[in-house]
Structure 1
Amino acid sequence: MNTAKNLNQTNNQTISWQEANKTKTGIWHSENAAPVPKRVQIADDTTKADDAYKLCCEGTALLWRGDFQNAKMLMQALSRRIDRPGKKPKKPASTMLEAFHLHRQSQSQKARILGMLVIELNVGYNINLRRAPDVKAACEHAYGKSTQTIVVSLREILGLVGAYEWSKNGVDIPVINNKIYPSYGVFSPIRGEYLDLVDVTPLPVPCNLAFDIGTGTGVLAAILANRGVTKIIATDNSHRALDCALKNVNLLGLKNNVSLIEADLFPKAKEGKDEYGKADLIVCNPPWLPAHPSSALESAIYDEKSKMLKGFLNGLAAHLSSHGEGWLVLSDFAEYLGLRTREELLGWITAAGLKVLERTDTKARHSKTLDASDPLHAARKAEVTSLWRLGKL
Structure 2
Amino acid sequence: MSGYPIIHWTEANEPCSARWRSESGMPPPKRVSIADDTMTADAAYRLACEGTALLWRGDFQNARQLLQALARRAERKSRKKQNPPSLIAPAESFHLYRQAQSQRARTLAMLLIPLEADYSIPLRRAPDLRQACLEAYGAGGESSVVSLRELLGLIGAHEWRKKGVEIPALGARIHPHYGVFSPVRGEYVELVAQAPLPSVELAFDIGTGSGVLAAVLARRGIAHVVATDQNVRALACARDNLARLGLAGQVEVVQADLFPQGRAPLVVCNPPWIPARPGS
Q: Normalised by the size of structure 2, how large is the TM-score?
A: 0.96
Which whole-Å CA distance do the structure 1 matches of 2:170 and 2:197 have between them?
16
- Aligned residue in 2 for 1:279: 264
Moved more, 277-286 or 22-31: 277-286
- Aligned residue in 2 for 1:118: 112
- Aligned residue in 1 for 2:129: 135
The Cα shift of 1:20 comes to: 1.2
Question: Which of residues 251, 256, 260 is equivalent to 1:267?
Answer: 260
Would you say the 8 A contact 2:78–2:100 is kept in 1?
no
Would you say the 8 A contact 2:208–2:214 is kept in 1?
yes
- Aligned residue in 2 for 1:249: 242
Superposed CA deviations along residues 317-350 of structure 1, whole A, max 9, x for unmatched, are xxxxxxxxxxxxxxxxxxxxxxxxxxxxxxxxxx
For the residue of structure 2 that corresponds to 1:127, the secondary structure is coil
- Aligned residue in 2 for 1:59: 51
Which whole-Å CA distance do the structure 2 matches of 1:44 and 1:120 have between them?
13
Alignment map for 1:44-83 (pairs within 5 Å): 44-83=36-75
Verify: 1:97 aligned to 2:91, yes or no. Answer: yes
Number of corresponding residues: 278
Gaps of at least 5 residues in structure 1 are 1-7, 269-276, 299-393
Which whole-Å CA distance do the structure 2 matches of 1:109 and 1:290 have between them?
18
Which whole-Å CA distance do the structure 2 matches of 1:9 and 1:259 have between them?
32
Letter of the 1:20 counterpart: A
Call closer, same or farther: CA 1:239–1:86 in 2, change over 3 Å.
closer
Which whole-Å CA distance do the structure 2 matches of 1:81 and 1:17 have between them?
26
Question: Which of residues 254, 277, 280 is equivalent to 1:292?
Answer: 277
Which whole-Å CA distance do the structure 2 matches of 1:28 and 1:58 have between them?
20
The Cα shift of 1:288 comes to: 1.4
Superposed CA deviations along residues 101-152 of structure 1, whole A, max 9, x for unmatched, are 1111111111111100001100100100000000000000000011000111
Moved more, 29-38 or 81-90: 81-90
**Between Structure 1 and Structure 2, whose CA radius of gyration is higher?**
1
Gaps of at least 5 residues in structure 2 are none
User: Identity over aligned residues, as a percent?
Assistant: 57
- Aligned residue in 2 for 1:316: none
Verify: 1:16 aligned to 2:8, yes or no. Answer: yes
Question: Which of residues 148, 157, 160 is equivalent to 1:166?
Answer: 160
Superposed CA deviations along residues 293-320 of structure 1, whole A, max 9, x for unmatched, are 45xxx8xxxxxxxxxxxxxxxxxxxxxx
Alignment map for 1:199-348 (pairs within 5 Å): 199-204=193-198, 206-268=199-261, 277-294=262-279
